[in-house]
Amino acid sequence: MHIWSWHGLVALVAVAAVVFVCLAAQAAEFDGVQIPDTMQVGGKTLQLNGFGRRDYAILVLKIPIYVASLYLEHPSSNPEQIMRSPETKLLIVRFEHNVSAERARKSWSDGLQNNCVSPCHLDPADVQQFLAEVPAMQAGDVFTLLFTRQGATVALGGRQIGVIPKPQFADAMLATFLGPRPALPRLKEDLLRGHP
């Protein structure tokens, strides 16, 4: 079975449809991005756990790249507990700056390599297949990663673009944000606020 199935695996999508509906008043506005308190996903209510921004630094200049928000069934500030949990998790990434496919692929490659630590092992062919399908992002794009016990569903602008049917690979993807060596430790801290 392929690691990355574009527009496929209807069974997984039926279990956790990629439909996100705001249920409550806005919790915050961050960099002009509205961040809801809760999201409805596949019949489950997910709570905002944390949010923050990734910047790209050039000398003293910081360029905002994206705002990320993490939603969980039960908020937590423990990254290991979150990653081990079979519960549904939703990561929403709203881009504020264009990112080329090459740069996006490099970021994913580095993140997977740095955070898939033993006993995690990813098939190199799976990694290459995944990286080959990572698209460029434009300012204003909303990229979502929905994690379930079956794997992960990837959407861009509310439209499903792919499915990760291997739970270990999906876990490694989440670890690029919450693992031991994230690209931006401050963003990890922000995502782990564990909002009540």
Domains, the chain, ranges and CATH? 10-181 (3.50.70.10)
With b meaning 16 or more CB within 10 Å and e meaning fewer, what string describes 178-191? bbeebbbeebbebb
Q: What's the pTM value of the predicted model, to 2 decimals?
A: 0.86
- Report the C-alpha gap between 15 and 182 in whole angstroms: 29
In 3D, which of 175, 193, 190 has the Cα closest to residue 67? 190
pLDDT at res. 155: 96
| Mean pLDDT, residues 106-135 taken together | 94
Residue 103: phi and psi, rounded to 5, are: -70, -40
195 contacts: CB under 8 Å, gap ≥ 6: 27, 47, 48, 49, 50, 75
Return the H-helix or E-strand segment holding 81. helix 79-84
Task: Confirm if 154 and 144 have CB atoms less than 8 A apart.
Answer: yes
Higher pLDDT, 162 or 194: 162
pLDDT digits (tens, 9 = 90+) for 77-89: 999 999 999 999 9
pLDDT at res. 195: 63
- Report the C-alpha gap between 99 and 108 in whole angstroms: 12
pLDDT digits (tens, 9 = 90+) for 25-43: 456 777 777 899 999 998 9
